[in-house]
Structure 1
Amino acid sequence: MRRFNFLFALQYAILGLCSLSTLFLAGCAGVTGTAVPSSLETSIPAGSVHGGQQPIQGAHVYLMAANTTGTYGSASTSLLHSGDPGTANDSIGTYVTTNSSGGFNYAGTATCPTPSTQVYLLAMGGNPTGLQGGPNNSASVLTAALGSCSTINSATFTSMNEVTTVAMAFALNQFMVDGTHVGAPASNVTGLKRAFATVANLVNSSTGAALAVTPGGNAVAPQATLNTLANIIAPCVNSGGSASSACSTLFSQTSTASGTPTTVLGAALNIAAFPGSQTAALYSDAAATAPFQPTLGAAPNDFSLGITYSPSIGVAQPSAVVIDASGNLWMANCQSCVTPTATDSIVEYGPDGTFLHSYSNAGIHNTKGLAIDAASSYLYSLNQAVAGSTHTLDQLTKMSLATGAVQSGFPVTFASGTYGTNTFNGIAVDNSGEIWATAAAAGAIVELNPGGNVINGGPYYIGGTYGVAVDNIGNIWFAGSGGNNLLQFDTNGDFLNNFTPAGLNQPQGIAINSSNEIWMPNVASNSLSKIEFFNGSNGSGSPYTSLGLFKPTVIAIDGTNQVVIPNCRVGCAGSGSTLPDSVLRLSQGGASNTGGSGSSAGAQNAGFSGVNGAAIDVSGNVWVTNSVTGKLTEIVSFAAPTIQPIAAASSAGTLGQLP
């Protein structure tokens, strides 16, 4: 989530030599004193600043570049040239001022350190009343994300308003403290760039309008939710200042343990960080004549923003989803789950949800597990037999991520007499590049080398094992769904421990955090267990029983040890639940930390329908498969940035750490 503790500790320092600037474009990656890479001069076009549909006069507009050499939320850099016609300077940097119609223009140029530098516009203060000599509203801080400097030219026009501000506050939540602090460390510039790109899937910066469909036409965007959020902050923007009742109410309702916001941007950032908090009260804040339409018809469970993607081919009953080092997403397409003789495939999406490929290769059928190796070279798929088809045995396939080609020696076929049929589910790649798979019905664990050969005397018959995960020091852990136990092996295939902590009740999924604590959801008791790796005992408060879970099977850990769980309720056939599907986000202590609680905890997105697999990318977006509709939903900046693929993090000992 946004607002890791270290971000709150940042001081809002004056940037001094790095003037923070106006208007809408370009980008400088760096802080004062940082060597500037090869630069690029670019012209800066015009734009406008409005509060709702009202022009804001006298606002200071700066062109800012996100920092890529500091930390998350480090100080941005101002880009406008001091002394150019129509400019002035203050403690932030060089700016231009909006006129009576809210318009601004800049006659000079700006220097972008690199073409790919991420830039944004920042508008501060101004008179929103339309009255000559009206008050300056210091609470009005509006933004618009522009993206890479090289994409901006003199024909670009930017309309800054509450919609553009909320879109940036959500998409950049993991990288943003306030209007003058947007940044990422050099190790995660990719995550920053992709977060900026997400803004373009939410709002048209030229018109300031929330999108109903993404520009590529491949996804449904959360237009009504985004407009509602914009309407919530609009009354404060259009008031006389921070002391107005509209602003006082907004700031009170978006206060967090770390403090109370003093600007509408700060309020929007807090809503994005805790989307389930004060939803009814915030919904009532929206102006009676809401300036942005269409809107939500009632107060939502939460204000999370979800973008739901549909590939150009039909997808059936997707389960697992994994992310490679390039940020591409890989998802199973189980056509044989509907028609046994149909052809299954693995679907590849780009980091922005664009459909790239569908690979129908030997051995891909009824895929239940996916894993990517640490080098992000190969995708392993664990495939169950399909009744009524030619696929009569479970198989393991190894596919090149670069070409989609099945590798020599694969698929590996698992004999039913040894492992059972329709039984393989869990898969992981360990620190030596070896593959571990579980056959639940047979109670078997099998270890294979990268060439597909069973090694170290396997299979091991331990009991009804299901999920598998590798920790930061190379141990391999298995969720014992049959014996309500937790099994530990070392990387050599030697059995180490069989733990039976109280409260385990058919655990299936498994994930491990930076402290090597093992998290497992319990299907039979709708609870969650956290187990200490050193002695197999329950962690504090474990098992957690009041989270509103319903037969949970999948779990993920983000870059700050938050726990993410798809919660398939009404969307899962035969569940008996009438509650909407959701995705939970929990603190390291096991408590919901989105602002909601119990059955209302987490995100309940309109695109959810049988939520199943989940993966977290380097921008903090959570990608969820929908088993009923076959679609893929991106919950914008719902978690912390996470190292991908998972095998790369476990191999480096960086599970639960930020990229």
Structure 2
Amino acid sequence: MRGRCRCRRQAVRGFSPLTFAVFVVFVGLAGCGGGSDGGSAGAPISGGVFAGGPQNPIVGSTITFFAAGAAGYGTGASVLATASSDSSGSFNIGAYTCPSAGTQTYITASGGNPGGGRNAAIGLMALTGQCGNLTASSFVMINELTTVAAQWALAQYIDSTGQIIGTSLTNLKGLNNAINLTNNELLVSYMLSDGDPNNTGVPASFLPTAADCSSGSPPINCDGLERLDTLANVIASCVNSSGPSSTQCQQLFCGATPGASWNGASCSVTPTPDDTLEATHAVVTHPTSNASTIYTVPPPPGMTLFKPVLTSGPADWTLALNYTGGGLNGPLGIAIDASGSAWVANNSTDSITKFTSSGAAISPAGGFIGGGLNNPLGIALDKVSNVWIANNGGAINGGPKGHSSVTELDQNGSPLSGPSGFAAANLTSAVGVAVDLSGLIWVTDNGGNSVIELCGSIPEACPIHSPSYNTGDVISNPSYTGGGLNNPAFIAIDSLNLVWVANNGFGGGTGSSLSELCGSTIGNCPAGAHATGDPISGANGYGGGGLLAPLGVAVDRSDNIWLANTGNSTVSEFCGAVTANCPLEIPSLSTGDPISPAAGYSGGGVNSPIGIAIDSAGFVWVANSANNSMSELSSSGSPLSAPTGYTDGGLDGPAGIAVDGSGNIWLSNSRGNTVTEFLGLARPVKSPIMGPPQAP
């Protein structure tokens, strides 16, 4: 929950405005960047660059003021102005032209003298928000904390040097959301010249205080605060050292080089980074590489530390935040809308929760209700960003079973379906829901061993029928069966509009399989499937590849199918309908053949997985309910996360999982009644998702 802005570090309390006339990163909040309103004169701004918090001014640092690029990820940034820091670490940026009012900007600081001599290894960054929001009273602080926060949250928008920020013209919103998240959840982002300096350069009020984290019952987000501080201290150790050849910098650069090893005195290879910006970016984009080496970089004697810090070395350098409120109670399904907001189905209270892209709860304390919500499980969004929910109809708060249905809400959470929902007469126990490329709605009926199809929010896209179909009308009559449907769980759509279903099977996974049905684009269905809903897979479905009691199912960018197996804690992959995209190293693969080995893919912490999501580059993300972790697999099934998985961010019974347009990963915590967001870890995905994942 959010709180008031307050001072959090003892090291900051001696900060005097007479000593340091600089303050904090300014991040504008309005609008989407990259407008074409033409160039205009920018307001002069001032700031300062410091090492290890506002204690040591960095003198003679080269200050570069950038406009973020819009020609692709990590490219196209342009220099607006340059300056140099003076003997107090202060700098002024005068004449420059804003490319547009909405263009995102940032500042880097390179080199300089933090007090012990010039250090060419210094590379720091601060986000400065939308160009048109900067005024003559905007002050910018650049230090290690602003650097690590920017690198974590914007990891997918920054090049390998750590200096160039850019996005695509079609994903300006993703970049803006990532910057707003940095401002709202990680750092105090700006203050006017008459503000209190003690409230600048410290974590945002969303995060707990150092005192909170030293209490007997520390809040969940202490882990995030401690990770910020710990990595900032590692970077500061190099910044405050004698230079690139110092032990601090050499150990950091070695640890930031994947595949390298540090023996206590030297690196096994020539390190790749040559400054702290490049090293920080390498650390956050290769979070499991040399985590211990990075953690043990020794601070120079007398260096002031950011606090609180991790008390033991992390297994990885991921950063995750934990959100509460908005009616979360037994959260399961989770989905992202076009604005980057997250929608969550609350299985225990017949409600839906909505969070902004920055993690603020929009829904009321009891969540959004009505429209037939009853034991909601799966959730999806359509082309007009209406929300569709599969209601299982189980015994909720002592209520009777048998009220399964489908609910539709608008973007404000208001019900569009009636009090009983849609399709109540056609469902026994709905579980999964997906929206196809035509905007039609597909729902699995676990109790009926079937799938139903509904008319979506745009009736004109529904099949011709007399009388005409209206939103929520059932198209499948009777329900679709066959193809191995057996206690079907979740459901996904491929690029050909074909329908794929994970069949959990009976107790112990007996009869579990993958089903394929002809979708609403009948011309894409193979011979023998003549109508929408016809089974394409055989009577027993597709099997093998380690498949056992799957729940989650996802389609990758190659149209291959991935499933999360709760029965044996593995992940399975199957060749999809576009067989040309199946691995060439496995000869003669046909649709439905397993790509994963007989035992499935394992490792990386996979343990009783429920939800599965795939990003736009093909990386696979899995929510593990048994060990409270998230796993990452490569597109070939190799584990990339640590053996325990990624475990920070208060994960507690993670179930649903989704990737947003900023590259953040959202998970619902079914036992903890919270939502966890891993920052900048995945490749951005266009939302809402319909068909395979696409880059925004």
In structure 2, runs of 5+ residues without a counterpart are 1-23, 29-33, 191-199, 209-218, 261-270, 457-470, 506-510, 520-531, 580-589
Read off the aligned partner of 2:142 and give its amino acid letter: M
Offset of residue 474 of structure 1:
0.8
Supply the distance in 1 between the matched residues of 2:545 and 2:673 (Cα, whole angstroms): 37
Q: 2:535 is matched with which residue?
A: 495
Q: 1:549 is matched with which residue?
A: 606
Map residues 91-106 of structure 1 onto 2, 5 A cutoff: 95-106=82-93
Distance 1:335 1:464, change over 3 A: closer
Deviations 1:469-510 (A, max 9, x none): 000111001112212221111112221113223421111110
Match of 1:204, SS state, is: coil
Q: Is the 8 A contact 1:26 1:63 kept in 2?
A: no
Deviations 1:520-554 (A, max 9, x none): 01111111101111421121546113333221111
Supply the distance in 2 between the matched residues of 1:39 and 1:220 (Cα, whole angstroms): 41
**Farther off after superposition, 235-244 or 505-514:** 235-244
Q: Is the 8 A contact 1:319 1:612 kept in 2?
A: yes
Supply the distance in 2 between the matched residues of 1:531 and 1:73 (Cα, whole angstroms): 33
The alignment covers a number of residue pairs equal to 578
1:299 paired to 2:313: yes
Q: 2:650 is matched with which residue?
A: 607
Q: 1:330 is matched with which residue?
A: 343
Q: Is the 8 A contact 1:561 1:657 kept in 2?
A: no
Deviations 1:162-201 (A, max 9, x none): 1111111111110101354210110111111111112212
Q: 1:365 is matched with which residue?
A: 374
Supply the distance in 2 between the matched residues of 1:151 and 1:632 (Cα, whole angstroms): 31
Q: 1:321 is matched with which residue?
A: 334
Match of 1:554, SS state, is: strand
1:480 paired to 2:523: no
Map residues 316-395 of structure 1 onto 2, 5 A cutoff: 316-336=329-349, 344-357=350-363, 358-386=367-395, 388-389=398-399, 392-395=402-405
Read off the aligned partner of 1:323 and give its amino acid letter: I
Match of 1:181, SS state, is: coil
**Farther off after superposition, 459-468 or 231-240:** 459-468
Supply the distance in 1 between the matched residues of 2:174 and 2:62 (Cα, whole angstroms): 29
Supply the distance in 1 between the matched residues of 2:26 and 2:201 (Cα, whole angstroms): 15
Distance 1:500 1:24, change over 3 A: closer
Q: 1:591 is matched with which residue?
A: 638
Match of 1:271, SS state, is: helix
Read off the aligned partner of 2:595 and give its amino acid letter: G
Offset of residue 412 of structure 1:
2.4
Q: 2:408 is matched with which residue?
A: 398
Q: 1:427 is matched with which residue?
A: 433
Distance 1:24 1:479, change over 3 A: closer
Offset of residue 381 of structure 1:
3.8
Distance 1:407 1:484, change over 3 A: closer
1:145 paired to 2:132: no
Offset of residue 364 of structure 1:
0.8
Distance 1:192 1:583, change over 3 A: same
**Farther off after superposition, 225-234 or 48-57:** 48-57
Offset of residue 395 of structure 1:
1.4
Q: 2:280 is matched with which residue?
A: 268
Offset of residue 129 of structure 1:
2.7
1:452 paired to 2:472: yes
Offset of residue 565 of structure 1:
0.8
Q: Is the 8 A contact 2:25 2:188 kept in 1?
A: no
Map residues 17-166 of structure 1 onto 2, 5 A cutoff: 37-52=37-52, 53-68=55-70, 70-80=71-81, 95-106=82-93, 108-130=94-116, 134-135=117-118, 137-166=119-148
Supply the distance in 1 between the matched residues of 2:647 and 2:493 (Cα, whole angstroms): 30
Supply the distance in 1 between the matched residues of 2:227 and 2:26 (Cα, whole angstroms): 27
Distance 1:166 1:348, change over 3 A: same
Match of 2:552, SS state, is: coil
Match of 1:438, SS state, is: strand
Deviations 1:313-366 (A, max 9, x none): 442111111111122211123444xxxxxxx32122211112222321131121
**Farther off after superposition, 324-333 or 515-524:** 324-333
Supply the distance in 1 between the matched residues of 2:556 and 2:574 (Cα, whole angstroms): 11
Offset of residue 419 of structure 1:
5.1
Give the TM-score normalised by the residue count of structure 2.
Answer: 0.78
**Farther off after superposition, 170-179 or 253-262:** 253-262
Distance 1:410 1:79, change over 3 A: farther
Supply the distance in 2 between the matched residues of 1:392 and 1:455 (Cα, whole angstroms): 21
Distance 1:613 1:559, change over 3 A: same
Aligned partner (choices 189, 192, 208) of residue 175 of structure 2: 192
Q: 2:686 is matched with which residue?
A: 643
1:656 paired to 2:668: no
Supply the distance in 1 between the matched residues of 2:155 and 2:207 (Cα, whole angstroms): 20
Read off the aligned partner of 1:266 and give its amino acid letter: E
Map residues 209-228 of structure 1 onto 2, 5 A cutoff: 209-211=202-204, 213=206, 220=221, 222-228=224-230
Read off the aligned partner of 2:226 and give its amino acid letter: A
Distance 1:406 1:390, change over 3 A: farther
Offset of residue 447 of structure 1:
2.2
**Farther off after superposition, 42-51 or 518-527:** 42-51
Map residues 627-638 of structure 1 onto 2, 5 A cutoff: 627-638=670-681
Supply the distance in 2 between the matched residues of 1:443 and 1:411 (Cα, whole angstroms): 20
Q: 1:620 is matched with which residue?
A: 663
Distance 1:626 1:286, change over 3 A: farther
Read off the aligned partner of 1:331 and give its amino acid letter: V
Give the TM-score normalised by the residue count of structure 1.
Answer: 0.82
Supply the distance in 1 between the matched residues of 2:632 and 2:259 (Cα, whole angstroms): 18
Q: Is the 8 A contact 1:364 1:383 kept in 2?
A: no
Q: Percent identity at matched positions?
A: 31
Distance 1:419 1:38, change over 3 A: closer
Match of 2:231, SS state, is: helix
Deviations 1:592-613 (A, max 9, x none): 224x2x22x3x21142222121
RMSD, matched Cα:
2.7
Q: Is the 8 A contact 2:604 2:632 kept in 1?
A: no
Supply the distance in 1 between the matched residues of 2:46 and 2:693 (Cα, whole angstroms): 43
Match of 1:320, SS state, is: strand
Read off the aligned partner of 1:186 and give its amino acid letter: L
Q: Is the 8 A contact 2:434 2:493 kept in 1?
A: yes
1:512 paired to 2:555: yes
Q: Is the 8 A contact 1:234 1:286 kept in 2?
A: no
Q: Is the 8 A contact 2:378 2:490 kept in 1?
A: no
**Farther off after superposition, 469-478 or 370-379:** 370-379
Offset of residue 205 of structure 1:
4.4
Q: Is the 8 A contact 1:57 1:100 kept in 2?
A: yes
Supply the distance in 2 between the matched residues of 1:44 and 1:275 (Cα, whole angstroms): 38
Q: Is the 8 A contact 1:231 1:286 kept in 2?
A: no
Q: 2:215 is matched with which residue?
A: none
Offset of residue 628 of structure 1:
2.3
Supply the distance in 1 between the matched residues of 2:205 and 2:26 (Cα, whole angstroms): 25
Q: Is the 8 A contact 1:75 1:180 kept in 2?
A: no
Q: Is the 8 A contact 1:39 1:114 kept in 2?
A: yes
